A and B are shown apart, each in its own frame.
Chain A
Amino acid sequence: MIRSVSILLALLGSGPAHAHAFESGQDAYELLLQGISQPWLMLPVAVLLLGLGMLTGIWRTEGVIVVWPAMIAGALLGLGLGPFVPQVEVIWLMGLALVISIVGIIALPLPSLAMAGLAALATLLPSRFLMETHVFGELPLPFLIGMGIGITTCAALAAGVVQATREQIGHVAVLIGWRALISWIGAISILMLAFELRPV
């Protein structure tokens, strides 16, 4: 009896567990790292951003230099508007990933402004998606900064790899290979769209 009561008291006295909560980071640096990891942990977001990066590298060898400011602007807008605008669904992300894939496959020579707009949209939607239902001020600033860094570097990293291979190898087959690879993003997007739209 005494043992049961003492166990019950111990349980009642315990604090909430934050193992998987956003607040699990004990300091700002941990929160920053958690934020950076978010885009990589959400597959639809990672697929879209990697596709954007590939497209940027296919579009122009040094395309990332042109569109990176737009990527940052889109991410900031998405994180800032997050609590005030409707939530973004996975089908939006996958629809945009499909569009990006098609533009990449045909290597459409988009004007700089159009490419920047596409890049801004492709970082705005995932950043809003990652905000989920959190209200303004709920998420700590280092976490938000981390998400912004994660979103832009995810795309910039892919663009950098494309740029490096194009510059270092230089063979025409490299660009063809990347166009074939970006078609995989399209294929993945089509399947993800089907999974999202299938009757439950």
Chain B
Amino acid sequence: MRQVLTLVLVLVTVATAPAFAHEGEGLAGGFMSGLTHPIYGLDHVVAMVAVGLWGAVLGAPALWILPLVFPLVMALGGAMGVLGIPMPAVELGIAASGLVLGLMVALWVQAPIWVAAVLVGIFAVFHGHAHGTELPEAANAIAYAVGFVIATGALHIAGIAFGALNGVKGGSWAVRGAGAVIALAGAAFLTGMA
């Protein structure tokens, strides 16, 4: 009888699903949630890298204005999401951002700085709103905000770093290629293929 009981206990233990009771809790948990949230969503990643790439394509001052505009306006969108202010077509806007920004890079569009800033700012609101509404309940909100902004900025820097290939012979084609891949990914998100 005792052996049977032991066997049952072992089987029950093996069959249990992992417990996530403390995931996202506390300072470290909140920070990690914020840090990983933008990175786990491919639709967010491609758009944020595209912002950095387009900044590199446009050169100074867009190189630093675009990555400066995006986190600030995204935070405003995030605040709207946190405060429960509704916004239409958020997912559509996010998917469109990958397509549009990718095309801007692939086609080497030299838009005036204000046009680029407004366009990037509009897309940033959609991304921020999605992050704000998806805030994990258990996460430490303040630590989440810190991680979330750092991850976004890091993705822009990754885009700018890749865009630096522009200064190398043939590098502009690599940058255009990256833009084309991002545009294709955006199209896939937009059509529901990904």
Contact residues, B86-108 vs A (CB, 8 A): none
B83 at the interface (CB under 8 A from A): yes
Q: Which of A44, A105, A176, A195 is packed against the most chain B CB atoms within 10 Å?
A: A195
Q: Interface code B127-168, partner A: CB below 8 Å = 1, 0 otherwise?
A: 000001000000001111110111011000000000000000
B72 in contact with A179 (CB, 8 Å): no
Q: How far is the CB of B31 from chain A (nearest CB, A)?
A: 9
B74 at the interface (CB under 8 A from A): yes
A187's contact among B64, B74, B141, by CB below 8 Å, is which?
B74
Chain A facing B: main interface SS: helix
A110 at the interface (CB under 8 A from B): no
B79 at the interface (CB under 8 A from A): yes
**Which residue of the partner chain B has the closest CB to A102?**
B72
Chain B facing A: main interface SS: helix
- Number of residue pairs A-B, CB distance < 8 angstroms: 71
A43 in contact with B142 (CB, 8 Å): yes
Contact residues, A114-169 vs B (CB, 8 A): none
B76 at the interface (CB under 8 A from A): yes
Bound together, the chains give a CA A175 to CA B141 distance in angstroms of 30
A186 touching B83 in the complex, CB below 8 Å, given contacts A47-B146, A180-B64, A194-B132: no
B121 at the interface (CB under 8 A from A): no
B38 at the interface (CB under 8 A from A): no
Query: Which residues from B are CB-within-8-Å of A176?
Result: 60, 64
B141 in contact with A186 (CB, 8 Å): no
Bound together, the chains give a CA A78 to CA B157 distance in angstroms of 38
Tell me the count of chain B residues lying within 8 A, CB to CB, of chain A. Answer: 28
Q: Interface code A31-50, partner B: CB below 8 Å = 1, 0 otherwise?
A: 00000000000011001000
B75 at the interface (CB under 8 A from A): yes
A194 in contact with B79 (CB, 8 Å): yes
B179 at the interface (CB under 8 A from A): no
A15 at the interface (CB under 8 A from B): no
B24 at the interface (CB under 8 A from A): no
B186 at the interface (CB under 8 A from A): no
A183 touching B71 in the complex, CB below 8 Å, given contacts A43-B146, A192-B145: yes
A187 touching B83 in the complex, CB below 8 Å, given contacts A43-B27, A192-B141, A192-B145: no
**Which residue of the partner chain A has the closest CB to B82?**
A194
Bound together, the chains give a CA A44 to CA B67 distance in angstroms of 23
A198 touching B145 in the complex, CB below 8 Å, given contacts A186-B75, A188-B75: no
A-B contacts, 5 listed (Cβ < 8 Å): A43-B146, A180-B64, A186-B75, A194-B83, A199-B84
Interface, chain B (partner A; CB < 8 A): 27, 60, 64, 67-68, 71-72, 74-76, 78-80, 82-84, 132, 141-146, 148-150, 152-153
